Amino acid sequence: MRDVYTDQLDAIFDDLAGISRRVQAAVGEATEALMTGNSSLAETVISRDAEIDRARERVEDSAFALLSLQQPVAGDLRTVVAALRMVGELERMGDLSVHVAKIARLRVPAVAVPEEVRPTMARMAEVAEDMVGRVTQVISGRDVEAAIALGRDDEEMDQLRRRSFTELLGDDWSHGVEAAVDIALLGRYYERIADHAVSVANRVIFVVTGHHPAPAA
């Protein structure tokens, strides 16, 4: 009986990793749509978000079933509660990818990101996608060391966010208010994806160790 219960807990984490892989794909595809003005790809990201929502519902159903039928205690209860919180974070990351795709779609046939800020925005997108990919590995392996490293590496995203503000608030900005708003929103979306990735990693640390990680210095 205990083996079945353990398998059910493991299955929930497998499902979380699967959702994380979907989110990583959404971040990459939304970014490609943004940088190329590909409206069909943007539509694909938007429509596939329903798959992430359904996957979240399945994880929630499994977690609530365990809570009601197995009445877990101690470490097992910690795992189930953390999973419920993690799946919400992952879904939100998917929603943020949709926001990126919607900006891409809104500006077609133009490209939303002006040429001079493309390197910064492209790097923000790359960091966000990489962090989601690493979260998948953290979840799959319940890897505390990798989770700690992910939290430390979030600093680059913070630096890129500050750089994007410097660029759009500079005296030589010539693209108007609309483009400035797009860049401000896009920077926020990528930053929040990274923040959620760190939060998911921190929850894995809590599941494995029973302790919340110390805040970054």
Segment 156-210, tens digit of pLDDT: 999 999 999 898 888 888 999 999 999 999 999 999 999 999 999 999 999 998 8
Buried b (16+ CB within 10 A) or exposed e, 128-147: bbbbbbbbbebbbeebbebb
pTM assigned to the model: 0.93
Flag whether pLDDT at 13 surpasses 90: yes
Q: Give Cα 138 distance to the centre of its chain.
A: 13
Closest C-alpha among 209, 205, 140, 193 to residue 31: 193
Segment 49-92, tens digit of pLDDT: 999 999 999 999 999 988 887 777 777 888 889 999 999 999 99
C-alpha to C-alpha distances, 174 to 57, 89, 160, 180, nearest whole angstrom: 45, 36, 21, 9
Residue 113: CB atoms within 10 A of its CB come to 25
Could you tell me which CATH number the domain at 2-209 has? 1.20.58.220
* pLDDT on residue 169: 86
Domain boundaries, the chain: 2-209
